[in-house]
Structure 1
Amino acid sequence: MPQAAAEIPRRLSHLNLSFLTNRRLQRILSLAGHDLVPGLPRPGDGVVVWGASPTAWRGERVAARKGVPLVRLEDAFLRSIRPGRTGEPPLGLFVDPLGVHFDPAAPSLIEHVLTTDPLDNSNILARSKAAIARIRAFDLSKYNNHDPDLPPPHPGYVLIVDQVAGDASVRASGATQATFDDMLAAAAATYPQAPILIKTHPETARGLRPGHYGPQHAQGRIRLITEAHSPWALLDGAIAVYTVSSQLGFEAILAGHRPQVWGQPFYAGWGLTADRTPPPRRGRKLTPAQLFAGAMILAPVWYDPCRDRLCSLEEVLDQLEAEVRAFRQDRRGHVAAGMRAWKRGRLNAFFGQVKPLVFRDDPAQAAALAAGTGRGLLVWAGKEPPGLAAPALRVEDGFLRSRGLGADLIPPLSLVTDDLGIYYDPTRPSRLERLLLAPLPPGGRDRAERLLTRLTALNLTKYNLGGAAPDLPDGHRILVPGQVEDDASIRLGADQVRTNLALLEAARAAHPQAVILYKPHPDVEAGLRPGAVPEAAARTHADAVLARADMAALLPLVDEVWTMTSLTGFEALLRGKPVTTLGAPFYAGWGLTRDLGSIPARRLRREDGSLQPRPDLIHLVHAALIAYPRYWDPVSRRPCPPEVALDRLADSALPGPGPGNRLLAKLQGRFARHARLWRE
């Protein structure tokens, strides 16, 4: 933390009633070591105000009269999905004892950092460059309720950025309506042939507050852009950017522009902008990475809302990516089909935070309702009817699911959504396959490596049942995980070996001297699903049958795994174990496994016959555990990144199923056993 921030008093008094109800603000300050108290300051206290808000004058007068430090708060530059006026709390704050970043009248904390810090730390600069690339790749900004599906304007235009009339940053720059008029006239004169697009402020577009430009300015080649376009898409198509003091000017620098700046925002005066009125005191020449380091890494205080602690910028990016992905996928709402009753509460938590889900049992009815209301269609992957014509997101459990079985009605922490197919069906492409064939996003490799290191250190698997490993015979141990034999992954992805007994026979035939360890599937052991191997046959081909053994305890003790399509093969790969597949699971066909089953040709060659790229293990980890699933945190009750899911799975305090779910699980088990006896 910069030295200036360390001089902030511990107790901060305030005269704002809104501070009393703002729990996020109170919590961030508390974690940063400050007590927020109402009333007049005592000796040794400070006074805190919100930026240059209309009520800030009260705190300013009290601080001056009492002779105590004045501290200003402002949102950091990656804030939330929606603007603060909606009530959504921020992910970070500037706690500034010097000034406020948009007012050049006095140095601010950001200016202090940019002026005094050497900004030559190679680690911080590398973090800056990686974070800039990541923010652009994931289309993140201060607010993130823009529509990424909107086609951008045809490139080659001049972008003029409007701001709200009377905004504090506009006033602090000494700008007026005449300033905005002059800026537009200068852009039109400098670029006499180019289209000019005026980006209307979102609050102006929604009729909340007026801007400086209106329909009277939209003449000839000048037009207003009121739609919720991505800031980065607009910047990518611009040949020049004009702004008074908008944050979009900062993002323009990160996008490679040298914006024309008619005010005096924090990013002006460092050699990265063309300044109409250069700010006093500034003259140092900075790179975009140095500017970003000061404004986004060194100056702000960042907050992790899931783990309730201060955190790094990278962890905020993890969290914001998860929340933005959920918002963008769910913003129009969904109709959900084929969802069992006990799953609906968790499904609504995952997908219904913007608009509650509408459930229909019949997929055809659900598709018709979705089409008629503009909602998306969610279908549980195993319940999708043949030939479903409507576009749909197929839903399934993720690969880091829970601490306990789905058969026991334990709700999941992760779900995958697939608009192309589903990961366990090799007969058609899936979104997971596309992710494996696409380049990793910026920062993806480092993040996946960290995730894999932590996952294996915690020894986590899909279900995390717990328990000690049994005594195992000595020798070359081959683990053969049993599967549910009517599982879709076997029906669709195993063309020769399709039963647990046949799998055991194949493993023994290939390794007559090895120690074969057979682990029945928990649902089969419970009598819920087919796939039981007669005891005599199991003993014939296996040296040990590991009933009710914990997979996490077993995997470190075995030398390799033979499987049809079980997720155990993936979990073995994560631990560096050789894996032989006799089907076509999602992790087969990429050069990471020994494949004895039929692999889809598209995983091996492109349509033109050339070889597909070979993703390595880290790429597989990123695709399967970061990019493909969505995670939901049952503690904070919000979307979360996989790193938080690891924490929850490793934490014994993870909320468990309620008594209703436990009763349903018992009834389900009894019904399934009676049904099987009846069939037999």
Structure 2
Amino acid sequence: MRPLLRVPPFPGAPPTALTVPESQSAPQLADEELDGLVASLCDTRVGGTYWAARPELPGSEYSLIRVAGDRARDEATGAAAAATALVWAESGSDATITGDCDPWHLLQGAAEVIVDAGDELALIAALAGVPLRCVGEGAFASLAGGGRSALRDAVRRHVVSGWRYVDPFTRTDMHVREAIALCCFWRQLTISNCDITAAVGFAFWKRPTVEPLLWNGATRVPFVSGSRSFSPADTVAMWKSRTSSSLLGALERSGARLIEVEDGFIRSSGLGADCVPPLSILVDRRGIYFDPSRPSELEDLLQNGSFAPETVARARELRGQIVASGVTKYAASPDSAPDRPGPTRTLLVPGQVEDDRSVVSGGGEVRTNLELLRRVREAAPEAYIFYKPHPDVEAGHRPGSVPDEKILSLADEIIRSGSISSIMAVVDEVHVNTSLAGFEALLRGKQVVTYGVPFYAGWGLTRELGPVPSRRTASRTLDELVAAALLIYPRYLDPVTRLPCPAEVLIDRLATGALDRSSGIVVTFRRLQGRVNRVMSGLWTR
């Protein structure tokens, strides 16, 4: 018999077990503990193929029938209490539903369930409190009319005993309650993707890591490369910066619901401009975090959300993990810090890609790196200023390069090597336009001054010299900001198991270098192309 709790077959992920058979007797659980597991399974609606298809159901009550054999199904259908029978079978002309389905979804309108006594649907129906009739002999026969004690016994025998639960990411033992929580995490992810009918603007090299995070549990993500027609019935996931203006116009005219997808804040072990696939994405149905002209899901979380104490505590631990490991947007770096110039007030100014959507949308009057430097020097005439060019600009792929002599007319030193986190260790303040480096500085306890409108400005954690939307009125702690921006808003993919994972797993993988995704023919070609671009633009002759 299969375990009740299983890992969904996410696209691209090799089969991974959540359990291993255990011959030793499981610890005896008191009735109260078993009741807690029953409540947890029912509340989270996990067990069986909980990730799978959720077909349209009848508008009135029905009898859900899952019985093997045509004759037995005919008899069960004839004995059904409800006027409508919903027959779930592997195949057959009498089947209403075939293939893997979410059993919890099928149960939600059922007046009763008629099922083979050895089918896990019997246990799930009992957990859901749906009246049950079992056909034949089998492991769950006692659940039909057996009451609370029979349900406890079934959970003890088939969920607790006989299995040892194993964390798929660490391969260490985990409690059944942790396994339930992880399955709930995966279930919520697949449900959030159920209405996506197309995905546009996704480069081929991004799709393998993006697809598991946009999968609906039943069908492959419908990536669209060319043109096609859309209607108001469509929900389209869109990488907007890579969607052609003609397709974007067609989408807007169609009335389709649009979902923006972008790189996450902890992205990968390499640059997106080098075609290194993202291991984290942001999926936003309201706007996008870097565009202050309208609210995004992240802004709504920060303005109106409430954060449970355990979530804030988890965010605090995650922040400590990030700082200790040196992980930034493009993974971890052990590089040494530059020398601090004595007791002088010292600032870091990170450059940005000048045509980046965050600069165009949220930079206000500051549209160039030179203008940012000019304003920082004006605000801090006596400070020692480090300037660090953006890695995509240094790689030769994106605009934003400034001649060294112009930089040094405003800044004191240009730093090209070393991670941004190592530079932050020796500065007092970080001055940014809209750069994510400002958020990373907040994680490290630095004072941050903003000249544009990044997502982390306006919550009482930064000093703003740019226009902040008046709708941002809430005050947030740093750990609440981390909870929203790193725990709730993004989606993460474990590069080892290829499974969607919690933030902590990806941080650990990047910190330990568990997998380097920065190699490959596409990445190699893009890096060579970047070198050519640098030579052609004269960046080597500094």
**2:290 aligns with one of 397, 402, 424:** 424
Q: C-alpha distance in 2, partners of 1:207/1:322?
A: 28
Partner of 1:192: none
1:404 counterpart = 2:287: no
2:43 to 136, 141, 151: 136
Gaps of 5+ in 1: 1-73, 99-108, 167-176, 186-195, 216-223, 605-612
Q: Deviations over 1:104-153 (max 9, x none)?
A: xxxxx5xx724xx5868xxx99xx58x9669736x534322355696896
1:474 is aligned to 2:474: no
Using CA pairs under 8 Å that are at least 6 residues apart, name the structure with larger relative contact order, 1 or 2: 2
Contact 1:581 1:594 in 2 (8 A): yes
Q: Partner of 1:91 in structure 2?
A: 18
**CA deviation after TM superposition for structure 1 residue 645, in Å:** 1.3
**Over aligned residue pairs, what C-alpha RMSD do you find?**
4.9
Cα distance change of structure 1 residues 469 and 526 upon mapping to structure 2, 3 Å threshold: same
Structure 1 pair 90/198, CA: closer, same or farther in 2 (3 Å)?
Answer: farther
Q: Secondary structure at the match of 2:328?
A: coil
Q: Give the alignment of 1:114-263 within 5 angstroms.
A: 114=29, 117=30, 136=43, 139-146=45-52, 162-164=65-67, 200=86, 204-208=87-91, 231=104
- Distance 1:241-1:207 versus aligned 2 partners, 3 A rule: closer
Asked whether 1:355 is paired with 2:220, we answer yes
Q: Percent identity?
A: 35
CA contact (8 A) 2:202 2:238 kept: yes
Q: Secondary structure in 2 aligned to 1:142? A: coil
Deviations 1:461-497 (A, max 9, x none): 1113622212122334332211122221111112133
Decide whether the 8 Å contact of 2:90 with 2:99 is kept in 1.
Answer: no
2: CA distance between counterparts of 1:450 and 1:298?
A: 33
- The reply on whether 1:448 has 2:355 as its aligned counterpart is no
**CA distance change for structure 1 residues 343 and 677 in 2, over 3 Å: closer, same or farther?**
farther
Counterparts of 1:2-401 in structure 2, within 5 Å, are 74-81=1-8, 90-92=17-19, 95=22, 113-114=28-29, 117=30, 136=43, 139-146=45-52, 162-164=65-67, 200=86, 204-208=87-91, 231=104, 276-277=145-146, 300-313=163-176, 316-317=179-180, 319-321=182-184, 323-324=186-187, 327-328=190-191, 335-340=198-203, 342-344=205-207, 346-347=209-210, 354-355=219-220, 357-360=222-225, 365=227, 367-368=228-229, 377-384=236-243, 385=245, 387=249, 388-389=251-252, 390-401=256-267
Mapped pair 1:654 → 2:490: no
**1:135–1:141 Cα contact (<8 Å) kept:** no
**C-alpha distance in 2, partners of 1:580/1:657?**
32
> Deviation per CA, 1:625-667, whole angstroms, max 9, x where unpaired?
2333332333223333323212220223413334412432234
2-structure distance, mates of 1:267, 1:447: 39
CA-to-partner distance for each residue in 1:204-228, whole Å, 9 max, x for gaps? Answer: 42444899xx99xxxxxxxx99996
CA distances 1:579-605 after superposition (whole Å, capped 9, x unpaired): 22221112222333222222234433x
Using the alignment, how far apart are the partners of 1:491 and 1:381 within structure 2? 14
Q: 2:491 aligns with which of 630, 633, 640?
A: 630
Matched, 1:464 2:331: yes
**2:16–2:168 Cα contact (<8 Å) kept:** no
Q: Which amino acid aligns with 1:419?
A: R
**Aligned equivalents of 2:449 and 2:55: distance in 1?**
41
User: In 2, Cα distance between the equivalents of 1:425 and 1:462?
Assistant: 19
Name the counterpart of 1:666: 527
**C-alpha distance in 1 between matches for 2:309 and 2:173:** 24
Correspondence for 2:279 among 409, 413, 416: 413
Matches of 1:463 and 1:523 in 2, distance apart?
11
Correspondences of 1:586-625 after superposition (within 5 Å): 586-604=455-473, 614-625=475-486
Mapped partners of 1:402, 1:579: distance in 2: 24
- Structure with higher Rg: it is 1
TM-score (norm 1): 0.62
- Residue 414 of structure 1: CA displacement? 1.4
Does the 8 A contact of 1:518 with 1:544 survive in 2? Answer: yes
Aligned length: 517
Q: Which runs of 5+ in 2 are unaligned?
A: 70-74
Matched, 1:560 2:429: yes
Distance 1:521 1:79, change over 3 A: same
Deviations, residues 492-514 of structure 1 (Å, cap 9, x unaligned): 11213333233333333334444
Q: Is the 8 A contact 1:334 1:358 kept in 2?
A: no
